[in-house]
Structure formats: C-alpha cells, structure tokens
Structure 1
C-alpha cells in the first residue's frame, strides 16, 4: 500500500523530453493533493523499528536485588565485588552494579545488579536464590519488579489451583524382576550402537537397541540408577523403564566423568584446552537432581583421574595439590573451615568406603621418615599414624566394608651412606595392614621379597590376594586376617600365567586372569574356601573381565579399543563353565548394571544363609522349568515346521486332484497315475532306435 501511494505521488511530477531523447526533468512534486488522507499506519511502515523502541520498564525488568550480602568496609569492597561477579556473571553480562553504603562507607547488606536483558535476570534469580555464600550468609535474590508486584497482592486469599503431578517413574524398576535377572550394557564401536540386555536364561534378551546413543563410551552410576552417555556438547543421563532422558549437562568436549557414591553429584572434565574460549570451564560439579552447576575448577598440575574423590556419604570431596590437601563440603562447595590442610610431601590419599576417614601418605624428607596417616573428617584429628623407612612408593587399598586398610610399600632394600648421601640398591616389598575396627587400630606387616604385580581385597571377608614374582615364576598368594592375631598365609599357587585378580562381589570365588597381550588371555577360576581350582581355560587377547552384581556370572571381552580382530564377549558361570560365546564386530565395552545396597540387615542375611536348604527345591524347580521351557520351545518350533509342511502338502494334493480330469483328457482317458492298481488297459510298446556305431580295428 505504501508503494502504491508513492507511485500516485510520483504521477504528479512533470517530465519534459526533447527530440533527441534527453529529458528536461523538472523538480518532482511530492506534496499531497488537497484533501488527501494518508491511511498507512506507522506499524506497517516501521514495525520492526517500533518493536525495538525502548520502553520505560526495560531497565527495571533487567535489575535484580540481592539481599544477604556481607557487610564490609571500603577496604574489602573490591574483594566482595569479585566474589559476587564470579557468581552472577554466569547468567549474562552485568551492565550496571550498585552497592549502597552508609555514612561510614560500609555496605548495607543488599546490592542491585542490572543485566542486558530480562531473560538473564530471571535466570539469575532462578539459580542463585538461597545460594549459601558461607556459613553466615545466604543470598535472597529477587527481580526489582517483584516488589511492586507483591505490593499489589490482594488481601483476600484465594487457594491456588492444584497442578497435575508428573512423577519421574520408577527409577529402580529393574530391581522388581521376579527372577532377579540383571541387566548389562553393550557398546558396539565408537558411535555405532548401544544395547541394553537382560541376562535371562537360557538366552539373554535385548530390551533396548539404539544407534549413535553415545559419542564414545557409557558409564553406569554407582547405584545403577542412571546411564551416562557422552556427546560433543556434554553428558546425558538416562533412567526409567524406557531409558528416557533424565538430565543434560552442557560441557563441550567432555571426556571424563565421575559420580559421587550416593549419586547426588556428577563431575565432568574436559582435558582439552580451547584457545578460542578463555573462560572455558575444565572441571564442573553438577547437582544431578536439579541439573544445576554447583562449582567449577581448573586442574592444578598433572593428576590422575578422578581428580576429586568423594566421602562415602557425599558430604565431602577432596583433591590433592602441591604439599596441600583440599577438603570441600557439599553444603557450600567451599573449603572445609575455609582453609586447606598443609601437608608437606603428601603424595596420595584415599577415602574410607564406609567412614569419613582419609588415609594419606607423606614421602621421606632427609632424616624425616615417610608416614601413613589416618585423618578424621571434619574435625581433622589424626586417629593413627605409621612411620615408614626407605620408602620408594606407596599404594593405598581399602577393603570394601572398611574393616581393613592395606598400604603396599615399595622399599629400598639396601642403604649405605657415602659422603653424607644415602645410596640405595635393590627393592623389597611389604604390606602394612591396619585393623580399622579394633581398639587403637593395630598394624600388622606382611613382607614379600619379590615384585608385586597386583593386589586385591576380598570384598566380603577377611582375605587378600596378591600376584608376585617375575615370568615365568609368577605366584599368587592368599592371606587371611584374624582378630588379635597376625596375618597367616592360606595358600600359594606357583607358576601361574596371570597378571590381574578379580574377586566375586560376594567373596569366596576369584578369577586369576592374564589380561592384555602379555597375559595371553589365561583364566583360572578358584574357590578360596577350599582353594580348589574349578577350571583352567583361556580367552585369547582378552582385554576385560567383569563379574555380575550377584557373583553368579563372569564376562570376558575382547574390545575393539585393544585389537581389531576376534572382538566379542563370552559369558561364564562362576565355576568357569562357558555359557555363551558372542562374537561381535567392533565390540567395544560391556558393563553390568550395578545394584544398590541391600536393605537387609546382617542378622537377616545370616538367617537366610542358614536356611538356604529350604529354598533349594524352589531354585531347582525354576531351573527345571527353564530347561523344560527351552525343550518346550524347541518342540513347539519343530511342531510349527511340521504343521507348515502338512499344510503345503495338502495344498499340492488338492491341486493334483483338481487337475486329474485334464490329465485324463490328454491321455485318452488312460489313468497312468494308477498303473500299479490297474495295468490291463495299458498297451506296452517297445521302441528301438539307433544311437551310435563304433568300428575298432584289431591288430
């Protein structure tokens, strides 16, 4: 319409052309004719610009009010601003900030922050309200416009309308399986497919099969609630009967993750440094329930993953630095008591799996011996320490139930002093065993003069095993611990081809495995109750060994990440009997779904073990039903094939009988199909014809 009006105005201009085609153009007249009324609105002409017109409330809606801010003087104001900006700039750019002060220059406990848009302000209010800055300060954050909104609230109360409840579904549905079948996850090739299987008998059942479900690999949460998948933009958690997406955590190029023991928090780590993003966050701790970021960190020097290690109740997490141990509390995600623990020479640490106790060791320093220290958190009290001499290295191993702690110590065997310097030659090894449940935590020592290749505690029990020696004289020793007595050697297997130990989750049974190219894939299934070798076998090029949570099955796998041929996985019974061989191209990973801790008390578990005999008939009956079910399925399959053949035969017989009149007409009414029944009406005729003639000359 606007174009039409302009064309009409242009018609009023006069153009005079000469004979040679040139124009003698007069100045156009764009004035409206007399009585003309313009019916084009400003919205039609300038709609986009008018929508960007500043409004009176734009600045107000982008302002938030933060209450509960610490009251500080002018000397600490800049530090306060840096802390506040670090928290609130996560949600957008702050264009203005105002810190009201009194006549003495002290802040008044509240501040005003203005973002570039109301959306950023709303996000800041949503994620920072009730944020605990420290033990005495908690932020109360509101939009500035909320104050006028609350002033207009009617004095007459009206009950809110009930909202429909949307549950998350049964997150532990798999625990209700009547026959207690466990689940396991199989990853085929990086980025190909991910399958969830149920370990039904006699054959596993696939319950999920999704293509490109993960970018690299997958990981179960410690209690089996979530399945984590990796993607270029971050991590996704899946849960529920249909494995629907539970939460997403944005973290570019994330390669490592770690769950807290109670599944409250998730740690993501991106080791790649993005030069184009100076504000890149390398380590982020997330709240799994809300999906919010709790705090981010930068790695300090080279350190093994996981960088952060968690207490058994998710209340604390810690990391090691140069001569310092930093312990954080999850209530505020800041340092415990606002300071790190200075420990000169600290090398490694580990949390107890059942108590808030940290075990760490300190290296030797000139004439000061190395030490192993047990530190109680949060009071930081040393409950036990042990001096060690001529130490080269230590490894800390907690028993799963927290009853015992083993510190494997590598020592220099011979020490001699030359020109005020110590010279070492040779190595010796020993285990320092801490009895955590006994008074004053006594320590026993077990010595070994040969190199230690592997060590493992029995998860439920008081035994431990270790592999020692060098090829071809590799041995496996088993030791037992008794209350008030020194450890005693229970058994020693000599000349074994293994380099890893895999205990059954319930104890008693162990697999001695040769993992990797050096191990040759050897497998030895041992019952440590009588130290009976139940089976000796192998799985060539084996790269992984996984027990199921019940301790009834073992899976060995050959991963495509280790080799390109003969990839796949085999399922064994705990006695070493092969049950299934699954050869899969580009098989990458198999993980059993963990189970949460049992709700039965120790007394209830003991009672069940005592009365197992009365349950045997039920188990045997189910086993027979499974076998008969398998036989029944085979019989049904054969019967179906027989029925199909019978139907096909009957169809052909009917066609044969229907075509019989036509055959008789073609054969002069002679039924040649019934020759055996009636041969009188058949005339026989012998026909001879010349085929070939050969002449052979004889000498």
Structure 2
C-alpha cells in the first residue's frame, strides 16, 4: 500500500504507513507516472525526475514550475512555467518536453494553465496540441520536424484525445450566428483538413462541455452545460448528457434522465460497457446505463454527487462530498447490493487503491484549512489508518497494474487490523455533545407552550432603543421575581452551544424559504439573495452534522 503527499512543509512517499522518502522542503507540485515507476516533483529552482522510491534519475533546470505531467507510457515529462513577454513582443516558450534522462525534446508556448498539456496517444507515438482553432499532430520520434498533420475547425473551443489502439479526436464547436453547436469525432491517423468526422452530434444550449472516453476509446460521454437557464427553472443553468460512438456507424444517443435538475457526476466502468450518472435536485438520483445509454439499475435517491468504480469494476463508490454531509455507499456490482455505508465528512479528495480493496479520502487545503489529513478505509467500511497532515495540498496512490491483483472475495475477505493511528486520533464517541430528552426545534426551546410568541432572551430588536436598566427592588420582590422567571431562564441557560448553532442555522433556512416563495411569485432577487439560496445545502449539511 503506497501513496505520496505534498503539504506546506514536506513531500513524502509512504509504503505500508512508513516513510519511504521524505523531502523537508517546499514542493510546488508532484505527479506519479501512470506506470508507477517514476515520480516527478517541482522545487523553486528545478524539477526532479525520480524513481518511485524517491531516488533521483535526473534534475531539470526549470525554475518556478507550476505544473507537470507524464505522457501515457512515461516516455516524456511535460513542464509548465509562466510565459513572459520578450523584447520582440512574442511570448516565451513555457511548455517543455523532457525524456527521463533529462534531455529536452520540444518546447512551445501555452499561455494559459488550463488545458496546457499536449495529449499523447496510448502508445506515446503521437502528440496533439490545440493552437487557436487548429489541432496540430506531432510525430514523437521526430520532434524537430514540427507538426506532421493538422485539422482546422472554425469555432473550435476544445478537444480531447481518446485512449485505445485506434485513437480519435473529439472536438467541440460552439454555436455561431444561429448555427447549432456540434461534437465531432475524427480518426487521428491520416488526419487532414479534408477529413470527415466518423460521427457527430449537433445541439443547442451548450456554452461548454465535459467529455469522458471509455477506457478502450470507442465511446464518448459528454455533458453540455449552459451558464443560465432562460426558462428560470434551474439556477445552475441547463445540462444534458449525450453518448457518441466511433463504432457501429457512429451510434449516438441523448441519455434520458428522469429527474429534473443538474447533472452532478458521470463515470465509466473500467470494463467500458456501462456507466453511472448522478442527477437531479437533491436528494439526487443515481442510475447505471449500458454502453448504448439504456438504464439498467436504479441506486435510489440520496444526497450524493460523486461516483467511481474500483479498478477491477467489481465495487462502486457513490458519495456526497463538497457541500454534502460526506456519506459514502459501497455497492457490489455483481449482486447490486450495498456492501456498507461510511461517514467521510469533509472529504475533498477520494481514490480507490490499485488493488480495489482500499479507499483513500483526504481533506485538503485550500478547500478546507482545518482537520487536513488522509484516511484509509477497507471496502467493508472499516477505518484502517489516519494520517493528520497540516495544510495538505496533494495526495495520490502510487499507480500500479490493477490486473496483477487477485479477485476480491466479498463473502470471505475481512478488513486488516487498523493501524495504531486510528486509536490515537479517532475522537471518542463520549466527546460528542449530548442533548437530553426528545429533540425540539430551536424556536420551541426555552418557551412553555402557553407563553405565546416572545423575542429570544438577550436579543436586541433591530432599530429599537436600548432597554433601560430595571429599577432597584427590595430583596423580597427580587426573590419573587427570580422564582417566577426561573423556569424559562433555566431552560434558556441549558441550551448547549450545539443547540444555539442549530437554532441560528434553522433561522437562516426559514429566510431562504421566504426567498424561494418570492422567486416563485416572479420577484427578481438581488445577487446577495441568490447567494443565500446557494448556501442552503451547506446549511442543511451543518445541521445534519450537529445533530449526529
């Protein structure tokens, strides 16, 4: 069991919970190669290519590297630094390609950090770069020759290159002058400006797309998204999901989703024959589809927004992260029965281990700046290891060939004994705040049923003058007053900090409901009011956590 992480003060590679390599220096970014044999990391004045145990292979004279990426077969390492304007007003070549021995092969200019990498075919034989509305194809055995083929498409926004033995380009062309947007698939081999797409789909309502190929590169799932919904039915804009194939005559389909609302996530199985979609207003629905877009299984509705198969396609993880409470469901793909449910609150990163038996969840900065660290879980739901890490920025399993591991036997496999860290850092259940008696909503606490409406104790009404101090009374009158007021005062004093927090959050939810009613009546809300509506899920999550 091996993984690496980067934090504010250190970079570590761990094997079976013990340090394999440690660098007590600031590392800007690190990446494993897909084969797991190499790891590269960027320091302020250089980039180091190392073996997976941390021993150095080569050191590159690249200063202030912001990102790096290995090619699919680990033939090349790409580095990105910030481009600067030269004296001739051109921009510097800030993307460089290196072999593992530190020899530079190629350089080019990509000013934006987003989508900066060249994309390589699965065998590293060809590389593709987008330059404005053109796609340039390079022969990686002869970089000095420059690009060998190109495809020019007016209105080209973005593209992706498929994996597999028969690589294809998926290109997204935006709407223009009333013409619909389109997604077109082209064969990479023999590409030219006269090439015809092997498959295409046209559609309106698409400001941007998210594209995901299956592992063998025969079928593409892509989600279209608008920034705004002109019908005002969806605050998050309108989204649709389509399927487009390179085989079978270019089969295409729009995926029918039977619950209104946004698409939260979609994920291919490693077997390339099925996928899961999580969609709809919360609680969202999770459904599995076959490779032609037909629904095959309904996982039900829950507050979930994340789905991923384990590398062997035997187990499925469906979770609610981000603004949701962090509950994780593990399903057995063979029986389609739930294996367990785990509470992984505050998770900002989640991965299956290469052997498909363990789950890594992490709380990372800057998404969350408290309780940063890594947790390792067995697929049965048992917590195996806790590793608190101050200001954790990055963490990844070391990649390994998933086919070399034995099949999972759900009926007989048990979780290993937890690491000592679980006992050391796990908070005892007794430390959780306890609320005695039946749960009462905050507005009903501390007020007898016959007392009617009243303002909370000690709360100043906005705009009202400050209350005058009460007049001095005789001791007898004071004692009588205290006896009369004591039941209400005592109840109010018994509110725990948790009760008070729930009370305040419930008031915010009530205000949000009032805004929703205004919106339904057609009233136009201000930007600050819309921001309050967006906070509803976060507030519900906090209340759920406080009541646990």
> If the length of structure 2 is used for normalisation, what is the TM-score?
0.66
Quick one: which of 170, 185, 189 aligns to 2:4? 185
Residue 208 of structure 1, CA deviation = 1.8
Quick one: which of 176, 186, 197 aligns to 2:15? 197
Is residue 2:442 matched to residue 1:442?
no
Residue 585 of structure 1, CA deviation = 3.7
Residues in 2 aligned to 1:497 and 1:310: alpha-carbon distance in whole angstroms? 37
Deviations 1:541-580 (A, max 9, x none): 2111121111110011112443332222211112322222
Residue 297 of structure 1, CA deviation = 1.1
Quick one: which of 294, 299, 303 aligns to 1:497? 303
Residue 298 of structure 1, CA deviation = 1.3
The structure-2 alpha-carbon separation of the partners of 1:386 and 1:596, relative to structure 1 and needing over 3 Å to count, comes to same
Number of the residue aligned with 1:267 = 78
Residue 334 of structure 1, CA deviation = 5.7
Residue 369 of structure 1, CA deviation = 3.0
Pick the structure with greater CA Rg. Answer: 1
Residue 592 of structure 1, CA deviation = 0.9
Alignment of 1:360-379 (within 5 A): 360-379=171-190
Residues paired across the two proteins, number:
408
The structure-2 alpha-carbon separation of the partners of 1:217 and 1:256, relative to structure 1 and needing over 3 Å to count, comes to closer
Number of the residue aligned with 1:245 = 56
Number of the residue aligned with 1:455 = 266
Residues in 1 aligned to 2:398 and 2:39: alpha-carbon distance in whole angstroms? 9
The structure-2 alpha-carbon separation of the partners of 1:549 and 1:597, relative to structure 1 and needing over 3 Å to count, comes to closer
Residue 366 of structure 1, CA deviation = 2.6
Contact map agreement 2:287 2:295 (CA 8 A) in 1:
no
The structure-2 alpha-carbon separation of the partners of 1:311 and 1:207, relative to structure 1 and needing over 3 Å to count, comes to same
Residue 247 of structure 1, CA deviation = 0.9
Number of the residue aligned with 2:327 = 522
Residues in 2 aligned to 1:298 and 1:336: alpha-carbon distance in whole angstroms? 14
Is residue 2:212 matched to residue 1:397?
yes
C-alpha root-mean-square deviation of aligned residues, in Å?
3.5
Residue 431 of structure 1, CA deviation = 2.7
Number of the residue aligned with 1:573 = 378
Quick one: which of 121, 128, 132 aligns to 1:311? 121
Residues in 2 aligned to 1:461 and 1:298: alpha-carbon distance in whole angstroms? 35
Contact map agreement 1:429 1:447 (CA 8 A) in 2:
no
The structure-2 alpha-carbon separation of the partners of 1:459 and 1:595, relative to structure 1 and needing over 3 Å to count, comes to same
Is residue 2:508 matched to residue 1:508?
no
Residue 537 of structure 1, CA deviation = 2.8
The structure-2 alpha-carbon separation of the partners of 1:513 and 1:325, relative to structure 1 and needing over 3 Å to count, comes to same
The structure-2 alpha-carbon separation of the partners of 1:383 and 1:323, relative to structure 1 and needing over 3 Å to count, comes to closer
Deviations 1:491-548 (A, max 9, x none): 1421x222222221111322223333x1332322222333322222322321111211
Contact map agreement 1:190 1:216 (CA 8 A) in 2:
no
The structure-2 alpha-carbon separation of the partners of 1:323 and 1:429, relative to structure 1 and needing over 3 Å to count, comes to same
Q: Using CA pairs below 8 Å that are at least 6 residues apart, which structure has the higher relative contact order?
A: 2
Residues in 1 aligned to 2:324 and 2:129: alpha-carbon distance in whole angstroms? 34
Question: Aligned with 2:196: secondary structure?
Answer: strand
The structure-2 alpha-carbon separation of the partners of 1:514 and 1:439, relative to structure 1 and needing over 3 Å to count, comes to closer
Residue 581 of structure 1, CA deviation = 2.7
Residues in 1 aligned to 2:227 and 2:385: alpha-carbon distance in whole angstroms? 48
Contact map agreement 1:389 1:411 (CA 8 A) in 2:
no
Number of the residue aligned with 2:276 = 465
> If the length of structure 1 is used for normalisation, what is the TM-score?
0.53
Deviations 1:244-297 (A, max 9, x none): 210111111101001100000111001264889998541111122x31111211
Contact map agreement 2:274 2:290 (CA 8 A) in 1:
yes
Number of the residue aligned with 1:120 = none
The structure-2 alpha-carbon separation of the partners of 1:440 and 1:193, relative to structure 1 and needing over 3 Å to count, comes to closer
Contact map agreement 1:319 1:325 (CA 8 A) in 2:
yes
| Structure 2: stretches of 5+ with no match in the other structure | 421-548
Quick one: which of 83, 91, 94 aligns to 1:282? 94
Number of the residue aligned with 2:432 = none
Number of the residue aligned with 1:75 = none
| Structure 1: stretches of 5+ with no match in the other structure | 1-181, 199-203, 416-422, 631-699
